[in-house]
Structure 1
Amino acid sequence: MSQNIELLLSISSMQNNILKTLDRHLSVHGISFSEFLVMYRLSLVSNRTVRRIDLAESVGMSASGITRLLNPMEKLKLVEKEQNPRDARVSFVKLSDVGFDLLNDAIKSVQHATDSLFKSLDTNDIELFLKLINKIR
C-alpha cells in the first residue's frame, strides 16, 4: 500500500475518532457536532446572520444538506429563518438568542473534549500539525 493511501486511511480514522468524541460530549446539550459547527459559524458573522448557501459552503455541506440540518434546529428555536425582502430566492439563517446561549455552554464541552483528544500534543506539535493541515487544504 502506498504512503498516500496509508495517510488517507489514518486521517479518516482520526477524523472518525474525533467526531465520535465530540458528538458524545455534545450529546448532553442535545446537539451534534454538525449543529455545533453551524451555530459556531453563525456566531462569528455580524448580526449572527448569513445567507443559507454561504453557511452551507462554510461548513462543507450541500444546499439540501444544510436545509435538512437546519429544519429541526429551527423547530428547537436554535436558529431563525429570514427572507430577503428584495429577492425571495435568497434566504438567511440567524443564530437565535437560545442558540447563542446553548453554543456558549457547548463550547465548554468541546474545549474539554479537545483537551482530552490532544493531551499528548504540546504547543509545538499543534502548531506543526496545523501547518501540515493547511498545506493540503
Structure 2
Amino acid sequence: MTQAHHPLSLDFFLRLSHAQALLAARLDDRLGTLHGISCGDFQLLTQLGRAPGARLRRSELAERVALSPAGVTRMLQPLEKIGLVARQPDPHDARLGYAALTPAGRAMLPAATETAHMICQRALHTAPPEQLGAFAAMLGQLAGMPAPVV
C-alpha cells in the first residue's frame, strides 16, 4: 500500500472530526446553560480577548476561527444583541470595522473560559500532559497556528 493511500491518515481525520463534534456538543451544552453562549461564540470571544485592545477586524477574526467574513458577521450579530461584542468603526477607513469585546464581554469571558477549561480537562483527563502538548503542536501545525503558550 502506498503512503498516499495509507488508511491511518483517513482514520485520524475521522476520529478527530468525531472527537471535535462530541467535545463541541459538551461545550455548547455547558456554555449555553451557564453563560448563554455556544462553543462557536466562545471561540470568537476568546480570539477577541486575546487580541490587542480586545478587538480585531472582522477579516482577521474570520481568519483566526477559520470562517468566512460573512460567517463571522452572522455569528457576531447575536453577541452584539446581548451586549458582549460591539462594532467599532475604523477611524481611517469607513469600509473597515472592528469587532470588540464590550465591558460585559470582558467580564463574562473569564468565567466562560473556566467552564470550557473544566469540560476540556474532564474530556482529556486520561491523556498524559506530554501527549497533549505534542498533539496540540501537531494540530497547530496542521492549522498553521503558532505553538501553544504553556
Q: CA deviation at 1:135?
A: 4.2
CA distance in 1, matches of 2:59, 2:138: 29
* Structure 1 stretches lacking a partner, 5+ long: none
Q: Which residue of 2 aligns with 1:92?
A: 98
Q: Which residue of 1 aligns with 2:148?
A: none
Residues 10-53 of structure 1: CA deviation (Å, up to 9, x unaligned): 11111111111111121121000111111111111221111111
Q: Does 1:22 align with 2:38?
A: no
* Percent identity between the two aligned chains: 27
CA distance in 2, matches of 1:72, 1:65: 12
Q: CA deviation at 1:125?
A: 1.8
* Structure 2 stretches lacking a partner, 5+ long: 1-5, 144-150
Moved more, 127-136 or 9-18: 127-136
**So what's the TM-score if we normalise by structure 2?**
0.85
Q: Does 1:55 align with 2:61?
A: yes
**So what's the TM-score if we normalise by structure 1?**
0.92
Q: Which residue of 2 aligns with 1:111?
A: 117
1:1-137 equivalences in 2 (<5 Å): 2-27=7-32, 28-137=34-143
Larger relative contact order, structure 1 or 2 (CA cutoff 8 Å, min sep 6): 1
